[in-house]
């Protein structure tokens, strides 16, 4: 009779420990799921920002390049003067008398 009661208590204890472990695993998975959902939300907002920022940057680049006056070679009425090159060597030193 004592062995039967100990066996039943062992099975009940095993069932309670198993249920506790299943509950703990469920809590961990819920926490992991909340983390994954939050990470997905952050990454989706980052992707949305990058798409919008890239589109606006492309639009600004297009407008800036379209707004810039083009230089045409040999056009009538345009200034054909060439820019003076920068001096790359220092000026010669003149000794004082």
Write out the two tokens for 23. Answer: 């509950």
More confident residue, 56 or 91: 56
Res. 91 pLDDT band, cuts 50 70 90: low
pTM: 0.51
pLDDT in tens, 14-61: 999 999 999 999 999 999 999 999 999 999 999 999 999 999 999 999
Asked if residue 53 lies in contact with residue 59, where contact means CB atoms within 8 angstroms, the answer is no
**Structure-token match 């066996």, residue found:** 7
Phi first, then psi, for residue 15 (nearest 5°) are -65, -40
Q: Closest Cα partner for 56 from 87, 32, 48?
A: 48
Length of the chain: 97
At residue 66, the pLDDT reads 86
At residue 71, the pLDDT reads 64
Asked if residue 72 lies in contact with residue 78, where contact means CB atoms within 8 angstroms, the answer is yes
């Amino acid at each position: 009779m004592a062995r039967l009661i100990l066996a039943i208590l062992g099975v009940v204890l095993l069932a309670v420990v198993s249920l506790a472990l299943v509950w703990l695993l469920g809590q961990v998975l819920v926490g992991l799921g909340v983390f994954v959902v939050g990470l997905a939300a952050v990454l989706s907002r980052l992707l949305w920002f990058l798409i919008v920022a890239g589109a606006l940057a492309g639009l600004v680049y297009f407008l800036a390049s379209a707004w810039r006056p083009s230089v045409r070679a040999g056009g009538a009425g345009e200034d054909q003067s060439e820019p003076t090159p920068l001096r790359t060597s220092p000026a010669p030193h003149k000794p004082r008398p």
